Amino acid sequence: MAVAEQTAQDLNSGTKPVDPRHAIDEARLAAWLEANVEGYQGPLEVRQFKGGQSNPTYQLVTPAKKYVLRRKPPGKLLPSAHAVDREFKVISGLGKTGFPVAKAYALCMDEDVIGTIFYVMDNVEGRILWDGTLPEYAPAERRAIYEAEIETLAALHNVDYAAVGLADYGKPGNYFTRQIDRWTKQYKASETRTIEDMDRLIAFLPASAPADDQTSIVHGDYRLDNMILHPTEPRVIAVLDWELSTLGNPLADFSYFLMNWVMPSDQRGGLAEIKDLTAYGVPTIDEAVAQYCKATGRDGLPNLDWYFSYNLFRLAGICQGIVGRVRDGTAASGHAELMEARVPVLARGAWEFAKKAGA
């Protein structure tokens, strides 16, 4: 297991020279930074982060400070995808509350500077972990890290989004039906073959979606490798990758996080194969639910099978979108084509949970 963790860690950690497909005019960028980022002083060196395959992400190195630049990828894109201006808006708003996000410096909507819109934020130094089984940690450390993740997600859902200027960040109400519609459209736009389980889910999920009981900021992809932990403490110091964030049902976010408990270890270090979670040092699903409900003032959660079906369907839609981008020549990662094999597996799992939920 440690070998797999190291492989994922190596594949995704650190920086590399900029991919030629994502090369930018460094002189134009440097001039823009000087004009728009308070305290910026060159000279500038640009590197690209290895991890991620959605919005190309760069490290900007100067003698005194490092920054991070997130941009829309060049080329043909699906509608509404890669809205880095929305990412900038949400981290700017959350930064006012003390919620752990990188400091947002500036947004550039002028595509002439580097070819697409982008924003610049602080480069937060800490640990990004890629394997949910946390093989290099002792049981007590594992539990502390998981409890910190749950506490941080609850804190996000407790933010008064209107008070921080995010009342227009999404449409309150009907979140699940709108999301199912969105991912259905993405799936159909990117479809490369017929998958019967996906067609069944497209019929079942909208007809059975639970009504919203609350609206909050939702991250949309809240998982271990989308956050930076303090270098030595079990504390989240920055939540990353807000591309899928919006206003929505917080249970969509929390149940997505809980997927880690039902995913196998080869899927980003899922926990499903660990027989005794308590001895291993990870909260059980019931303990995770209890901690989240206490922090957010809930009495408990409804049957999770529907939520798990929805989340696996959504992941299948996201993966199929990447397959479509490989087809169209705009994918940003060399291993993106492996996504095609994941789609029917995710769809099958989603349909199994749908059957448990009454399909």
CB half-sphere exposure, 208, CA atoms < 13 A: 19
105 pLDDT exceeds 60?
yes
Mean pLDDT of 133-137: 95
Topology classification of domain 139-356: Aminoglycoside 3'-phosphotransferase; Chain: A, domain 2 (3.90.1200)
The pLDDT, as a whole number, for residue 339 is: 81
| Span 240-282, pLDDT tens digits | 999 889 999 999 999 999 999 998 887 778 999 999 999 999 9
Tell me the Ramachandran region of residue 38: left when phi exceeds 0, alpha when psi lies from -120 to 50, beta otherwise. Answer: beta
- How far apart CA 175 and CA 237 sit, in angstroms, is 28
The pLDDT, as a whole number, for residue 1 is: 34
The pLDDT, as a whole number, for residue 166 is: 97
What are the helix (H) ranges across 168-261? 175-190, 196-208, 250-258
11 pLDDT exceeds 60?
no
> In 3D, which of 320, 66, 343 has the Cα closest to residue 182?
320
Q: Is 49 strand, coil or helix?
A: strand
Q: Which helix (H) or strand (E) holds 44?
A: none
Which residue's structure tokens are 């999404």?
Answer: 170
Looking at domain 2-122, its CATH superfamily turns out to be Phosphorylase Kinase; domain 1 (3.30.200.20)
- How far apart CA 79 and CA 96 sit, in angstroms, is 30
| Span 36-58, pLDDT tens digits | 999 999 999 999 988 655 678 99
The pLDDT, as a whole number, for residue 3 is: 39
Share of the chain above pLDDT 70, in %: 91
| Span 45-99, pLDDT tens digits | 999 988 655 678 999 999 999 999 999 887 765 555 568 899 999 999 999 999 9
18 pLDDT exceeds 80?
yes
Strands (E), 103-151: 104-108, 118-122
Average pLDDT of the chain to the nearest whole number: 90
- Give the domain ranges of the chain: 2-122, 139-356
pTM of the model: 0.87
Q: Is 61 strand, coil or helix?
A: strand
Mean pLDDT of 301-314: 93
